[in-house]
Amino acid sequence: MFSCLIVAFDQANAESAKISGKVLDVNGKSVAGVKVAVEGQKITVTTSKDGSFKLEGVAPGNVYLYATPPSKAYLDGETLKSISVKGGATVSGVTITLSGRPSAAATYVE
């Protein structure tokens, strides 16, 4: 029984995928410290100094990524289209762009 569980666990890990990319602001500048999560899955990472991230253990299927910035200077972001992830594959080059939050001094036109 124990060996069957190990085999099933190894097969599940072999089917998971990886997604890598960068989080940028609207000017194309990297944003560090952003929490990037796979919607509907318990996978979260934080971007490095150069804004890059690598998610591992992603379940196959069409997924969306959600980004929570490290400060109120940015609005939350997400991928606008689903990312097709196949078991055992690596999807790279994903970019999430964060919009800046308007300052308190901003003038709004009605």
Domain locations in the chain as residue ranges: 13-98
Mean pLDDT to the nearest integer, 6-35:
81
pTM: 0.80
Burial (Cβ within 10 Å: 0-12, 13-18, ≥19) of residue 92: exposed
CATH number listed for the domain at residues 13-98: 2.60.40.1120
The residue length of the chain stands at: 110
pLDDT digits (tens, 9 = 90+) for 35-91: 999 999 999 999 999 999 999 999 999 999 999 999 989 999 999 899 999 999 999
How far is the CA of 64 from the CAs of 52, 53, 94, in angstroms? 17, 15, 11
Q: Which two tokens stand for residue 39?
A: 């919607």
Instruction: For residue 59, give the 3-state DSSP assignment.
Output: coil
Cross-strand pairs, 65: 38
State how far the Cα of 104 lies from the Cα of 17, in Å rounded to an integer.
42
